[in-house]
Amino acid sequence: MSRDWAENLLAEQKEEEGQSEELLKNKKLADKALNHYQKGEKHLASGKYSKAESDFKKAVEVFIQANDLKRAERCSLKLCECFIIEKKHYDAAKAAYYAADLILHFKKYKNAIKHYQSVIDFYEKVDAELEILEVYSIIALCNVAQGKFDDGIALMKKKVAKSTFPQIKKNKIIQFAIVVINTILQKKADNLDEIELQLNKIKVDEGVYSLFKTVKRLLAHYINTIVAITADKKEIRAGDTIEVSVLIKKPPDLEIIDSTLAFDRLFDLVDDKQIGSDNRKIVFKLRPRIQGKLKVGPLSLICKIEEFQFPLKVLKTFEILPGKPKLIIEPELPEISVSIGEPVAISLNLKNLGKGECMNLSFALTLPEELELAEGSQEKKLHSLGPKEEFLFTFRILANEKVDTNLSATVTFEDLEGNQHTIDMESIPFSASS
């Protein structure tokens, strides 16, 4: 046991010594690079631009050897400043491009995009059209890496897709960006193989290559994410309240960090969204107003997995069946008592308490032989009666003799699925006396 402990301790000491040697080496290199940088500053101040350029270039190289990429980036920008003063715009573009590449190692995409915008400005001064399109493609991929898919797509459509420059098809960076955008739009797993194939063939600076690999990993998560939209009812009818669930099916460690609801305007929102404790499920309640094919979505989700965030849009179409009507005949008076020979108005209210429409209604009042209509017909027609609607039928009746009887009525109608229905009214006591 003591021997193993001693061996482990010795190994740890050697590792620490190796790390110390590496730190010492990097410090010496950093001091050397700083010396070149300071010389470059002096040459720049005295107008000796060629010498300043030489020292700034050496400072960049040595800072990279010292693994101090942040200071290498600053030196590269200083080199760019020299080229700007000398109006060497193409060289200034290259220096700014390299500064962007260095900052990409730290995944600082916003800073990189600022550098790339400067690169484009310099390239525009020398009409370097292909290089400009290439840089726009990299900016689009920086947007994708941040999960800003729409920005990346819009930039490629605006700047690259509309270009007729013939050499686009031969530029591997532009073609890689095109495949990435198509993968986002098509959400096809097969495209990941094409991305891998192009990534293996492409030769770019290390920062850009790390960006491409990040985009590839992000798209793998995006492609493999499956989201289900379901309702708590298999048969959904107009007027029903349904609970809609948006659930991440896979991968198991993905979360929803933000969401925006969207649904057909013929849905009413009954209860706003509730997010599950594991951030993998969203629940809300809707009520369809009419029958038909109504869409829930596209819902906009922002998903997070590992260090990645990306947007996802999901859509589901639900088949909404007609609502079921519920018809009642409600008399204005529970019973009627009149004098013999005196006409009386009897009002019967037809109410649809259901969620569906009644069509082709036929209303028939049944009178015993002792009673007769003072005017009009015992049968009435109505084209339709919608949910929560009502219609009042009025009949004038008289009795020519003493009577103690009942009135009854029947209504027949169709629902929107063509089914026939018959509703009978509860009898109303009717009496006539002198």
> Which of 203, 223, 243 is the last residue in one of the domains?
223
Q: What is the pLDDT of residue 13?
A: 55
Q: Is residue 389 part of a domain?
A: yes
> Are 178 and 303 in the same domain?
no
Q: Is the pTM of this model over 0.75?
A: yes
All residues at 6 or more sequence positions from 212 whose CB lies less than 8 Å from its CB, including other chains: 141, 176, 199, 202, 204
Report the CATH number at residue 351: 2.60.40.10
Whole domain around residue 285: which residue ranges?
226-321
Give the contacts of 423 (CB within 8 A, at least 6 positions apart): 327, 328, 329, 410, 411, 412, 413
For 126, other C-beta atoms within 10 Å of its C-beta total: 15
State the CB neighbour count (10 A cutoff) for residue 417. 10
Q: How many domains does the chain have?
A: 3
Determine, yes or no, domain membership for 13: no
Q: What is the pLDDT of residue 7?
A: 58
Same domain, yes or no: 255 and 213? no
HSE-CB for 407 with a 13 A CA cutoff: 30
151 plus 91 within the same structural domain: yes
What pLDDT sits at residue 53?
Answer: 79
- Give the list of residues 6+ apart from residue 56 with CB closer than 8 angstroms, or none: 36, 37, 40, 75, 76, 78, 79, 82
Answer whether 348's CB lies under 8 Å from 324's CB: no
CATH number at residue 39: 1.25.40.10
Can you list the residues of the chain whose pLDDT is less than 70?
A: 1-20
Asked if 190 and 141 sit in the same domain, the reply is yes
Q: What is the pLDDT of residue 1?
A: 43
Same domain, 88 and 128: yes
Q: Among 297, 321, 345, where does a domain finish?
A: 321
Quick one: 313 and 408 in the same domain? Answer: no
The residue type at 313: K
Q: pLDDT at position 11, please? A: 57
H/E stretch holding 344 reads strand 344-352
Domain end: 188, 223, 258, which one? Answer: 223
Question: Could you give the angle at which helices 129-145 and 172-186 cross, rounded to 10 degrees?
Answer: 40
How many H-runs (helices) and E-runs (strands) does the chain carry?
Answer: 10, 18
CA distances from 103 to 33, 74, 96, 134, 286 (A): 18, 10, 11, 18, 48
pLDDT at 9: 53
Q: Is residue 23 part of a domain?
A: no
Tell me: do 157 and 241 sit in the same domain. no
3 state DSSP class of 428: strand
Judge contact between 173 and 134, C-beta under 8 A.
Answer: yes
Contact 119, 96 (CB under 8 A): yes
Residue with tokens 């985009």: 215
Same domain, 131 and 91: yes
Written as one string, the DSSP assignment of 274-324 is EE-TTSSEEEEEEEE-SSEEEEEEEEEEEEEETTEEEEEEEEEEEEEEPPP
Q: Are residues 65 and 202 in the same domain?
A: yes
Close Cβ partners of 74 (under 8 Å, ≥ 6 residues apart): 99
Average pLDDT over all residues of the chain: 90
Is residue 70 assigned to a domain? Answer: yes
Residue 262, domain CATH: 2.60.40.680
Residue 4 lies inside a defined structural domain of this protein: no
Do 274 and 173 sit in the same domain of this protein?
no
Q: Are residues 251 and 230 in the same domain?
A: yes
Please provide residue 256's backbone torsions phi and psi, each rounded to the nearest 5 degrees.
-95, 120
In a domain, 405, yes or no: yes
- 270 with 210, same domain? no
Q: According to the model, what pLDDT value does residue 14 have? A: 54
The answer to whether 387 and 358 are in contact (CB under 8 A) is no
Contact criterion met (CB below 8 Å) for 218 and 310: yes
